[in-house]
Amino acid sequence: MLSKALLTINTIKYLRFIQIFNRVKRRLIKFSPDLSGSSLIILPKNKPCLFIESQEKMLNDNEFKFLNVISSVQKKEDWNSNKHEKLWLYNLHYFDDLNSINSHKRLNWHKSLIQNWIDNNPPGFGNGWEAYPSSLRIVNWIKWILSGNNFEKEWLDSLTIQLRYLSINLEKHLLGNHLFSNGKALLFGGLIFQGNEANAWYKVGLNILENELPEQVLKDGGNFELSPMYHGIFLEDLLDIVNIHQSYNIRLPSKVNSSILNMIDWLKTMIHPDGNISFFNDATYGVSPPLADLVNYALVLNIELKTEAIQNLTYLKSSGYARVEKNDFISIIDLANIGPDYLPGHGHADALSFELSIFSKRVIVNSGISTYEIGKDRHYQRGTSSHSTITIDEENSSEVWGGFRVARRARVKNILMNQGSLIRISACHDGYHRLKGKPSHCREWLFYEKTIEIIDSISGFGNHKIKSVLPIHPDVLVIKIDHNYVELEVNGNKINVEFEGIGELNVVPSNYYPGFGEAIMNKQLIYSYNGEVPFKLKTRISW
């Protein structure tokens, strides 16, 4: 109980007053939905550009596939069934399939689904009326209307009630991407409906946009939650907002377009040669649109993108990531703190981790995520041992706990970079100072043409159990193990990994999580040392 209390105290102390105030307010005050009818809608003179289409989610008129789990909705209780995890139910209430690939072929299913939702989800009750799924559903319903589908009067009444309820139920206790999604929904609703009420929604949505944009988009273009996946979601939100405003011939603040340009450049830096995102913090495939789709969307909206020459070294200073790119490899390095202090829920204990692609194939990876449910899987996936970095005494570099909480956090410091024929990057973090002997972890990367050296230095006092963890992509084969040496093969090419130290090398089975509900067997190279610090380890990767 004392340990839990300390975790709670060390978590709450980072929250903003507005978050604490609104958490208390939500417990004490329950708002009732206003069930009065809707006003008329205004369709734009210019039909919006095609929104990015998601993957199909409906398998038949009552069967769905979310998070790689298939289930059906056959009765009222299924909309809030406790047999599914919360995120699966959220996806059910999003209505993404309305605007997915080949959605026109499922028009009758969609009409029935909208009516089913209205009939079985009374205002203010259940998962579907929580602010975040409400926000995504409102946007999807409006996109569906703007795509030329007829919306019945009862459906418009429901949409109005949802917007009205959302406007008094904003997620100010969470802030971040949740509040921004609330604002996006109010912007959409304020544009499509007529009248003073709609105008008020629009003003609230615009205020959220103007306040959150400089807060959530850093100077280097990164989204402040430092997750490539959530970055892509936020970028799509901005493009959608531009799209609907262009349709209604309404000008947006100029900083919206400049933010889009910077966010696209940031995402390009965080992409592997396979065109997909790196797995830092809560990031996995199948949630945010691919970079290529986002770039094409921006071009269709006549947003003129910047063209820049490829750099051997790119440092995203505000975010804390670096990218090194040469002929045969790219490496993406995490020099960041865990995220915004008041909103680290999607952060991982991954300080000084890195990902590496060689010959256009991923080799060293972070392990990804497969669930948001509180439990051992979620805890492990956020923990240090599922990332390509150093663990000390089996502890996490930042105290991740619960599903989305963080107590004491690692701070990255002493960041240095030198670029020439040899690229050198180094940094330290203090995440293990809470342990006896106050150990520190410093890591240095040396990038040659066909060799990378990683030098880990552990300082402090006393005996400690040190582990260097290198998760290997599932497509990489372990060909040979000899003492402190491993030979890998990827796509027919040989890669050598050699450890110089006084520890012991083991190749252990593990899992890689490339999507929600997915786990693929892979291997981790783990080099272990148990003894006194200071301790130094050199890892050489060559091909």
pLDDT band at residue 475, thresholds of 50, 70 and 90? very high
Q: What SS3 class is residue 497? A: strand
Cβ distance 446 to 424 under 8 Å?
yes
Domain contains 106:
no
Instruction: Tell me, yes or no, whether 92 lies in a domain.
Output: no
Asked if 55 and 64 count as a contact pair (C-beta separation under 8 A), the reply is no
Per-residue pLDDT, averaged over 419-432, amounts to: 96
Under DSSP, is residue 137 helix (H, G, I), strand (E, B) or coil? helix
The helix (H) or strand (E) run that includes residue 520 is strand 520-532
Neighbours of 244 (CB within 10 A): 23
**Cα three-residue angle 322-284-174, rounded to 5 degrees:** 90
Residue 372 forms part of a structural domain: yes
Tens of pLDDT, residues 87-132? 999 999 999 999 999 999 999 999 999 999 999 999 999 999 999 9
Task: Give the end-to-end CA distance of the chain in Å, rounded to a whole number.
Answer: 51
In a domain, 110, yes or no: no
- Token output for 359: 């010959």
The single residue listed with the structure tokens 């799209």 is 243
Token pair listed for 236:
């799509």
Question: pLDDT tens for residues 60-92?
Answer: 999 999 999 999 999 999 999 999 999 999 999
- The pTM for the full model equals 0.96
With contact defined as beta carbons under 8 Å apart, do 380 and 386 qualify?
A: yes
Spatial distance between the Cα atoms of 209 and 218, rounded to a whole number of angstroms = 15
The C-alpha atoms of residue 496 and residue 65 are separated, in whole angstroms, by 41
Domain assignment present for 93: no
- Total domains present in the chain: 1
Whole-angstrom distance, CA of residue 263 vs CA of residue 270: 11
Contact 225, 196 (CB under 8 A): no
For residue 530, being part of any structural domain is answered with yes
As a whole number, the mean pLDDT across the chain is 96
Look up the domain containing 353 and give its range.
Answer: 313-542
Among candidate residues 209, 218, 510, 459, the one with its CA nearest the CA of residue 337? 218
Would residue 519 count as lying in a domain? yes
Main-chain phi, psi angles of 415, to 5 degrees: -80, 125
Specify if 448 maps to a domain: yes
pLDDT at residue 1, rounded to an integer: 65
Residue 208, SS3? helix
For the cut 80, the answer to whether the pLDDT of residue 154 exceeds it is yes
* CATH number of domain containing 412: 2.70.98.70
User: How far, rounded to the nearest angstrom, does the alpha carbon of residue 304 sit from its chain's CA centroid?
Assistant: 26
Assess whether pLDDT exceeds 90 at residue 39.
no
The neighbouring-strand residues paired with 488 are 478, 495
Q: Token digits for 321? A: 């990531």
What pLDDT sits at residue 349? 98
